[in-house]
Amino acid sequence: MIKVEHLHKRFGGFVAVDDVSFEVGAGELVALLGPSGGGKSTILRIIAGLEQADAGQVTLAGEVVDHLHARARRIGFVFQHYALFRHMTVAQNIAFGLAVRKAPLEAQARRVDELLHIIGLNGLGGRYPDELSGGQRQRVALARALAPEPKLLLLDEPFGAVDAKVREELRRWLRRMHDDLHVTSIFVTHDQEEAFALADRVVIIHNGHLEQNGAPLEILDNPNSEFVARFLGEVNVYDATVKNGEAWVGNVLHVPVAGYEDGDRLRLVVRAYDLKFWREDPGVATVKRVQFFGDRARVEAVMDDGQAIFSQFPRRSSLLKGVEAGCRIFIEVTLARAYPVEAASA
């Protein structure tokens, strides 16, 4: 288990990490998710011993490791851009950490063969990094990090340097590998889909702060702040005012809300898939555009008070019948999340 307690880190006048605490259980795969520049990679580097925290501590398997050099922490680190040694073969790259520790050559060869099998690159140990695809190079980087049997595996945007199709394949492969090896792992990403597809638990970091920590579905269903609600998925965001137990957006959209008084100002966050549109005259909005993305359709419209709204549907949804640019539609909100304006995140 790893425990991060009250980490603080400044770079000059910039606060990169501000009182961040969380735990990772043995064998867990945890994502640090958030916008670029929010402090995720700095937290990862502090855990690895590549940066020194200004305050707070890191405990690994019950031992405080802040005083230990990175090499002494037995942590594997995988960078976004592979960081493989171009003058070394695949096998030599994988064996590098073992060679530094002066492991017997026979043990190095056994471990390399084992990892080449795990990463699906049997027979390629004699090749050089430049002779591999981007996806293959990232697998070699993972194998090199795993070779010394680390207590913890850290991955910093591990799939950011490969194209979308390869990234999807690597995600599935990493999840299978983790399920087989059960290495406690933390990976940094700004990709929500990646975090929710891979992680057992997601820690959302924004502007150096920990915004929310929980299981993927728990966070998706119960975002605890406007920032988290807006960050996860495509959303419509509106200023609203409470009238008679409902939050009103202009004079068209209104949804029930509890716990607020008339006149309270709210921010209403509505996910694209929590809306229903259907063709109806006279309706309350006019469709401006319908776009198709594989098995999904995106419908963009303008409400009669001038505010834009969009929704997503399965491409073959019966609700799309007759929906096209220029037609009139009715709108139903199936789920909205309301946050007081004074507590809203920027």
Same domain, 166 and 270: no
Same domain, 339 and 190: no
SS3 18: strand
State the Cα–Cα distance between residues 71 and 73, nearest whole angstrom: 6
User: What CATH number did the domain enclosing 111 receive?
Assistant: 3.40.50.300
Q: In this predicted structure, what is the pLDDT of residue 346?
A: 39
State the Cα–Cα distance between residues 67 and 60, nearest whole angstrom: 12
Same domain, 43 and 151: yes
Q: Which helix (H) or strand (E) holds 17?
A: strand 14-24
Q: In this predicted structure, what is the pLDDT of residue 158?
A: 86
Mind listing the pLDDT tens digit for each residue in 269-294?
999 999 999 999 999 999 999 999 98
Q: In this predicted structure, what is the pLDDT of residue 345?
A: 44
Please say whether the beta carbons of 40 and 34 come within 8 A.
Answer: yes
- The count of structural domains within the chain is 2
Mind listing the pLDDT tens digit for each residue in 331-344?
999 999 999 986 44
State the Cα–Cα distance between residues 151 and 27, nearest whole angstrom: 10
State the Cα–Cα distance between residues 24 and 277, nearest whole angstrom: 42
Given a cut of 90, whether residue 71 has pLDDT beyond it is no
Q: Quick one: pLDDT band at residue 166, thresholds 50, 70, 90?
A: confident
Same domain, 149 and 132: yes
Rg, C-alpha atoms of the chain: 24
Same domain, 152 and 262: no
State the Cα–Cα distance between residues 73 and 345, nearest whole angstrom: 37
Please say whether the beta carbons of 26 and 16 come within 8 A.
Answer: no
Same domain, 216 and 314: no
What mean pLDDT is predicted for residues 76-88? Answer: 87
User: What CATH number did the domain enclosing 312 receive?
Assistant: 2.40.50.140
Q: In this predicted structure, what is the pLDDT of residue 80?
A: 78
Domain endpoint, select from 166, 195, 228: 228
**288: number of CA atoms within 13 Å, CB side?**
12
Mind listing the pLDDT tens digit for each residue in 147-159?
998 989 999 998 8
Whole-model pTM above 0.85? yes
What mean pLDDT is predicted for residues 242-260? Answer: 93
**Domain boundaries, position 288:** 234-343
Q: Quick one: pLDDT band at residue 169, thresholds 50, 70, 90?
A: confident
Which residue, among 128, 103, 125, has the nearest Cα to 114 in the 3D structure? Answer: 125
What mean pLDDT is predicted for residues 49-76? Answer: 93
Same domain, 201 and 266: no
Q: What percent of the chain has pLDDT over 90?
A: 82
Same domain, 37 and 176: yes
Mind listing the pLDDT tens digit for each residue in 95-146?
999 998 899 999 999 999 999 999 889 999 999 999 999 889 989 999 999 9
Given a cut of 50, whether residue 239 has pLDDT beyond it is yes
Domain endpoint, select from 196, 212, 228: 228
DSSP tally for the chain: helices H, then strands E:
8, 20
Mind listing the pLDDT tens digit for each residue in 175-202?
988 998 899 999 999 999 899 989 999 9
